[in-house]
Each structure stands twice: as structure tokens, then as C-alpha cells.
Structure 1
Amino acid sequence: MARREIGEINAGSMADIAFLLLIFFLVTTTMDVDSGIARKLPEKTDVQSDVIVKEKNVMDIVVNRNNQLLVENEYVKVTDVKRLAMKFIDNGGGLGTPIDDKPGEPCDYCGGDKDPNSSDHPSKAIISLQSDRGTSYGMYISIQNEIEGAYTELRNKLSKKLYGRSYDELLNDYKDNPSKSLQDRLDDLKNKYPQIITEPEPIK
């Protein structure tokens, strides 16, 4: 009785199938993308600063493990943070930070209430954000966005007053066509409303 020969497996077809499965996996699978807040961290300095910060120049924001938000020990909504931060930063109730041994000057561009019990100057206005280890990431990002929005809106208002265009528009102009004059304007606006945000150790 004649033996039947065993046919060979077409390995080429299996390779094609494996390749198609790989392509399908790459197309249909979502990859995790790092998300966060773009912010340049200050460089480490070896010199210890002896600057005394007045309590009125610090706006305390605390969010607990239940995502409850307190600003200056009062419960508020996340949507209130931007307005409260703008009022604090733009208060202009005193003198700015001394520069090159020159005394600080009053804020002649601030549009705030000039409340003597609130911040002296945007260059001295510090926003302190303290979270809890149980605070949700979404809540933390929402608060950061509100704070960022406060600085952006203040810069936009001043930029329109000084240059006839908003800070955001100047940024877009600079991205499309970088120039020293645009860079100088952007730096001037950032210096007038510097982002001074501190984050104490999270509450355990």
C-alpha cells in the first residue's frame, strides 16, 4: 500500500497573518500619553534667602482628600479660584520688590482694589496650593488651570492696553514669526505678572 506524503505547512502565509495581526493591534490599541502641566521649574540655588514674606502676600489654597476646596480658610467652588486669584494678584496695595538696591515702586498698571490687607504687588503675590495625598488628580489639574487662567487673563488685559493685542495673540505671533520686539513684549508682560506659585508638601 503506497504511503501518502505529508504536505508542507505554508509558513509564508502564517507570517502574513502574524503581520496583519500586528498592524491591527497597532491601529486599534490606544497608547498612554503623558499628560500634565507645562511649567518651567526654578533652578536650584545654594544661597539661602532671608526674605521675609508678609502673610497678606500669600493666598492659601487648600484642597482636602474629599476634593473640598478652601481659599483663605473659606470653602469655595473651583470656578471661583480664577476670580479670587485675579483679585489677589492685581490688588496693588503696596510697593513692588526692590530691584538693584532700588526701593520697590507702586503698581501703576494694577486695576485692583488696593486693599492694604491684600497683596502689595504682583511681584510679591504668592499663591500657595496645598493638596492632600487623597486629592484626585482631576481636581488638582482643575485648580491649576484656574490659577493659570488668572495670570493669562491679567496679561491679556494689560497687553491689550499697552500693545493693542492680547498676550495670547502675541504668543501666536511669536510662534509664527519670532522677533526680538515680540520677545521683549512677552517678557515685559510676564515680568509685570510673574507666576509665583508654591506647593507645600501634600497633607498626609
Structure 2
Amino acid sequence: MRASTSVNAGSMADIAFLMLIFFLTTTTIATDKGLDQTLPQPCEQGDCSSEIAERNIFQISVNGDGDYLIQNQKMQLSELKQKLIEFIENTDNLESMPASPQKVYVNLDISRSLNYTNYVQVLDEVKAAYSILRENYSKLKFDKTYIQLSALETQHVLKAYPFQLAESTGIAEINQE
């Protein structure tokens, strides 16, 4: 009798399968990073448009050069946060500003040629303004910081100061004056 020269490969598939499982479970997969924003729910009815009073809209326009037009006034980005807080709070009860924070919509009109970093900076300033308002409301209403609130209290604060954002692209150029 002659000895067989072939190798028994029956268990090779088992070993390969075990190695595959090992590498899949021990390898960390990099996740994509992006902006943490919740998209609006899809419209279930026929007409989802709604009328928003002009006094409730806080307008921010940014052209491709990074010039800021805030409430139809040319300003610096550093002024945005305070201007938005004043608009939302409307401490003087002006007719040109919203009657309550729940009705405020921030309309962000961005040029398509704007650097993405500038867009994120604008969005960060808007979110920082809302963070300050929510923190102040938390201390006033619950005598706690925003992070210390329970889930129910957090929902109450978010309902008092909802972040309602409308975004569009392709604005006209801001006049250099």
C-alpha cells in the first residue's frame, strides 16, 4: 500500500471560521462622526406648511465670504449668541419679537460656498444660546443645573425652550458697507 500525500483539510474550514469570529469580535470599527441633529418627522398629511409670524423668526444669513447678517444687521459671529438670547427672552415685550420662547424659529440661511467650519461655528453659537437659556430656566424653576434635572424636568425645560431650526442655502450676497 502506498501512503497518501494529501492533507486532510476538513478542519481547516472550522479554524478559518473561528479566526474570522475572533477578528470580528476583537476589532474596533471606526464610526462616522457628524452633527448630532434630529431631522423633522415626515409629513403624514397633505399640506404640512404652516404660517409663522414674522416676529417669531430669528434670521441668520451667512454668505460665502463668512459675512453675517443677523436680523437684517451686519454683525460679527461673537454677537450672535447674545442677540439670540435677547430675541428669545423679549424682556421688553416688544411687538417685533416673539411673545413666548416656544414660538421662536431660528432661520439659518447659508451660502453653498461657505466653509463647513464656519457653518458649524454658527450652529454652535445658536446651540450655546439655547444652552444658556435652558440653564437659567432650570436654576429658576427647579433650583438645579440643567444636568442635574430628572428626565421629566428636562422635558419640561425642553418644552419651555424648544430648539426649532429652519435651514436653507443659496442666499444673496451681503452688501459690504
TM-score by length of 2: 0.74
In 2: Cα distance, 1:151 partner to 1:169 partner = 17
2:61 is paired with a residue whose SS is strand
Correspondence list, 1:80-95, <5 A: 80-91=79-90
Aligned to 1:66: 65
Q: Aligned pair 1:165/2:144, yes or no?
A: yes
Post-superposition Cα deviations, 1:136-165, rounded to whole Å, max 9, x if no partner, equal 111110110010011111010010111111
Q: Write the distance in 1 (CA, Å) between the matches of 2:72 and 2:85.
A: 18
Instruction: Answer yes or no: is the 8 Å Cα contact 2:64–2:115 preserved in 1.
Output: yes
Q: Normalising by the residue count of structure 1, what TM-score does the alignment of the two structures yield?
A: 0.65
- Does structure 1 residue 114 correspond to structure 2 residue 82? no
Residue 50 of structure 1 and its aligned partner are, at CA, apart by 5.2
TM superposition shift of 1:37: 2.2
Matched, 1:149 2:128: yes
Cα displacement string for residues 35-93 of structure 1 (whole angstroms, at most 9, x for unaligned residues): 432121111112223532111111110000101111022111111111111111122xx
Structure 1 letter corresponding to 2:170:
P
Q: Specify the alignment match of 2:25 in structure 1.
A: none
Asked whether the equivalents of residues 155 and 166 of structure 1 are also in contact (C-alpha less than 8 Å), the reply is no
Matched, 1:37 2:35: yes
Contact 2:137 2:157 in 1 (8 A): yes
- 1:189 paired to 2:168: no
Preserved CA contact (<8 Å) 2:56 2:105: yes
1:198 deviation in Å?
Answer: 0.4
Give runs of aligned pairs for residues 42-61 of structure 1, distance below 5 A: 42-47=40-45, 48-49=47-48, 51-61=50-60
Identity percentage of aligned residues: 25
Higher relative contact order (CA 8 A, sep 6+): 2
User: 1:127 aligns to what?
Assistant: 106
- Give the Cα–Cα distance (whole angstroms) in 1 for the partners of residues 83 and 147 of structure 2: 21
Question: In the alignment, which residue of structure 1 is the partner of 2:116?
Answer: 137
SS at structure 2 position matched to 1:85? helix
Tell me, yes or no, if the aligned pair for 1:129 and 1:200 is still in contact at 8 Å.
yes
Q: Is the 8 A contact 1:128 1:198 kept in 2?
A: yes
3-state DSSP of counterpart to 1:139: helix
In 2, Cα distance between equivalents of 1:159 and 1:193:
11
Equivalences, count? 143
Contact 2:61–2:171 (8 Å) recurs in 1: no
